[in-house]
Structure 1
Amino acid sequence: MFNDEYYKNKIFLEETTLRDGEQAPKVNYSMDEKIDLALKISGILTEDDTIDAGFPIVSELEIKTIKEICKIVKKNNISVISRMKMGDIDLSYEALKDTKKRKIVLMTPTSPQHRVHKLNMSKEEVLNLTLESIRYSRKYFDQIEVGFEDGTRTEPEFLYTLMEAVIKEGVDTVTVADTLGCMTPIEIGEKFGGIQNNVSNFDKLKYFGIHCHNDMGLALANSLEAVKYGVNKIGCAFNGLGERTGNVATEELLLLFMLKGDIIRNINSDKYAYDKIIECSKLVSKYSGIEIQKTKAVIGDFCYLHESGIHQDGILKNKETYQLFDPKRVGYYGEIFSIGKHSGSNGLKKRLIELGVDIDKINFNKYFIEFKNLFEKYKIITDQQLLELASEYKIRGV
């Protein structure tokens, strides 16, 4: 890896909510929505991170939208993805020409499945086309990234040869994609360890990236494993949006930076706006039309709710018993207790007090018994039912 502390001790994010996130089934942002998301995402990221703004070949509206993003987002690098076609590269420049911090990502299909069935090309033809595309891009772009699509299913020797040639051509940023989300951490270690040990000019890279899909639920684990083997750039999207089952969830990576800085070493860790995570996540959900799973890590509605009586009692005594961190750090300001079948007396008392009930004026022991009995009839007990029950068990004459 490039012998510079700046690159060795940081993890750079390539945030792709606007591009790969929009490739999720049935997602279609309007131009205004995409611009709004770009601003929100930029407000969370550091200036070292990149916003993947789109795929210019998609439409004229896509190009127009990327242009508008370039006008208002000045902090981050703005990238677009391009096929290895001169027309695509021209459009990429057209979309990004109004920003100085522009980058093109040349998508290079490398696996035998893609070479044979999609491109109908030999290894040599793919290699030559990749180098030609790099040379053509250089007239427009100082920052050129080559992304090996389906790189994890590519024969190791071809991957080494291709990467060596790309680096020799002067490219300092290469990303290997687990396009089908088919790898495990063990296989990632073998694949990326092999690259690190067998690409002779590997040390010339400034950015070595991974872009994982989540088809087996291992995108984050695979990305973290790759960091052990020189990866310092991770592709991610808010709410884990992306093709099929999506990408590494940006919010999960950010939480690791916030809580596990001693393990996930990133000297940018103190520069992220963690308190804006949930706000941004809800906006992505609103514009994408895809609801957030209630138990989704970091951003789900149930993340910070406790129903068990043992948990509620523990938190009332000391929050650290069952809270990993203060939810306000990621922008959560809602309830932390859920009153339900498993709630204990202390948690229930807390809720009643919040509703304005004077606990000393009700027969709480009988109230608590009846409260438990209600769950034989109802799945959920409403606040109104709690108040009605309190009225029923009010101590007369008090």
Structure 2
Amino acid sequence: MNSNTGRNAHPSPDVWFNWNSVEAVPATPAPAYAGKLFDETLRDGLQAPNIRNPSLEQKLILVDHMARTGVHSADLGFPGSDPLALKECVEIARYIAESRLPLVQGYAGRTHPADIEAICEIAQQASVHVDAYLFIGVSPIRQYVEDWDLASIQRHVRASAVACRREGVEFVLVLEDAVRCTPEVLAGVYDAAIESGVARLTLCDTVGAALPAGAASLIHWSRRYFLDRGHPVAFEWHGHNDRGLALANSLTALALGCERVHGTILGIGERAGNASLDQLVVNTHLDRHDSYDLKALRDYCDYAAPVLGVDIPQNYPALGRDVFKTSAGVHASAILKAHEKGNLLVKDSVYSSVPASFLGREQEVLIDEASGTNNVKYWLTVNGYDSSNPAYLKKVLAMAKSTRGPLTDEQIRQIIATAE
């Protein structure tokens, strides 16, 4: 038996550390909102066992959708995983360059010479600038399980910075499980980053452990650490959704000045998935922090879902089949009145915080057993019928009350035809 087994079975209390327990102390000066979204669909998103790996042709189409939506940076693969992955990454890099897509190219790898070499190979073969997103686990629980120590992490950071600088690629230091890393360990890692001239650093909520307050505490503390040492760093945020808080944490990171915030289309990814890129796009656009094409986003999601082998839930925010539908009479009454005022945005907003028209959709008022007269009036109005005709109203509503589920447009037309 390993003589260390007894000792190793009882880790130090630090392995249970989480930034959720630390009070946030805001950095000064307060950071300006400068965030851009970073698409991780073709890297972290594809790691999930339930996700279908697209063909190269499909990946290129997904890249087109990213650019059309207005996303301007992405992690496009893990070229060090095998020769085929490297070959595909080179083809993607060439395609982006030849198509002149406004997309900053990132590629992922470990802080390992072989992975760094693969990323540099992309830059050389495709003659493009790339960002090397090199990750290393830093939390005490990861160190305990992997038998790592701070000194070895610091060596990897320094060596990676030297290798990237030598090959002319930008080193982005990605700190896995940063939200469960103690200030003492982070300070040691940050010192190595400062010594190495690191200019971009990604804080990761690798297992989705953070609360928004914990994300804020980590970002504030990290920003202060670098500011106090006179070393400017561009922060990024990478979050997972294990506690259902990836979107909230990512919006917090954007509000606190993180320059790139990561997400995947439809929130795909390991376990409960990553932060949902599409929901970040919708929220960022609606809050007027950045401009995206929401109709192009809808096309992106409609293409990605079958290619990746996922379904879009019918009540999925902004993009689900039923999110702009209502059959409640009180809602129908308000939507009808808004429609009559002739202002599309008012109509879109009276019972929705996301305007359907932004996504190329419309408010849909259904007629079913829960509906009232105003549901029928709305349908008649938007379809060019006389909404004051009592025979139409009576017969359509009577049929709705005796039918399970909403009436179809064809059924309503047949009812009206018999009432004329």
2:361 aligned with 1:337, yes or no? no
Q: Distance in 1 between matches of 2:215 and 2:350?
A: 35
| Aligned residue type for 1:281 | C
SS at match of 1:114: helix
2:35 aligned with 1:15, yes or no? no
Equivalent in 203, 213, 230 of residue 240 of structure 2? 213
Question: CA separation of 1:39/1:154 partners in 2, compared to 1, >3 Å: closer, same or farther?
Answer: same
Q: Distance in 2 between matches of 1:65 and 1:34?
A: 9
| Runs of 5+ consecutive residues of structure 1 not aligned to the other structure | none
Alpha-carbon deviation of 1:381? 3.2
Q: How many positions carry a matched residue from both structures?
A: 380
2:64 aligned with 1:44, yes or no? no
Q: Distance in 1 between matches of 2:366 and 2:266?
A: 24
Aligned to 1:88: 115
Contact 1:78–1:101 (CA under 8 A) maintained in structure 2: yes
Alpha-carbon deviation of 1:15? 1.0
| Aligned residue type for 1:303 | V
Residue identity over aligned pairs, in percent, reads: 24
| CA RMSD across the alignment | 2.8
Q: Distance in 1 between matches of 2:366 and 2:85?
A: 44
Equivalent in 310, 314, 324 of residue 353 of structure 2? 324
| Aligned residue type for 2:66 | I
Q: Distance in 2 between matches of 1:68 and 1:2?
A: 42
2:411 aligned with 1:382, yes or no? no
SS at match of 1:139: helix
Equivalent in 350, 364, 367 of residue 392 of structure 2? 364
Alpha-carbon deviation of 1:182? 1.0
Query: Could you tell which deviates more after superposition, 379-388 or 91-100?
Result: 379-388
Q: Distance in 1 between matches of 2:212 and 2:47?
A: 25
Q: Distance in 1 between matches of 2:215 and 2:387?
A: 58
| Aligned residue type for 2:336 | L
Contact 2:164–2:170 (CA under 8 A) maintained in structure 1: no
| Aligned residue type for 1:381 | L
Aligned to 1:292: 312
> 1:223-257: CA deviations, max 9, x gaps?
22234544222011121122222222222222222
Question: CA separation of 1:100/1:40 partners in 2, compared to 1, >3 Å: closer, same or farther?
Answer: same
| Runs of 5+ consecutive residues of structure 2 not aligned to the other structure | 1-25, 339-346
SS at match of 1:322: coil
TM-score, with normalisation over the residues of structure 1? 0.86
2:92 aligned with 1:72, yes or no? no
Q: Distance in 1 between matches of 2:228 and 2:195?
A: 8
Question: CA separation of 1:293/1:205 partners in 2, compared to 1, >3 Å: closer, same or farther?
Answer: farther
TM-score, with normalisation over the residues of structure 2? 0.82
Q: Distance in 2 between matches of 1:283 and 1:180?
A: 28
| Aligned residue type for 2:264 | A
Question: CA separation of 1:15/1:203 partners in 2, compared to 1, >3 Å: closer, same or farther?
Answer: farther
| Aligned residue type for 1:328 | S
User: Superposition pairs for residues 236-275 of structure 1, below 5 Å?
Assistant: 236-261=263-288, 266=289, 269-270=290-291, 272-275=292-295
Alpha-carbon deviation of 1:351? 2.8
> 1:122-146: CA deviations, max 9, x gaps?
1111111221122122222331100
Aligned to 2:330: 310
Alpha-carbon deviation of 1:180? 0.4
Question: CA separation of 1:307/1:2 partners in 2, compared to 1, >3 Å: closer, same or farther?
Answer: same
Contact 1:44–1:274 (CA under 8 A) maintained in structure 2: yes
Q: Distance in 1 between matches of 2:235 and 2:94?
A: 28
Alpha-carbon deviation of 1:346? 2.6
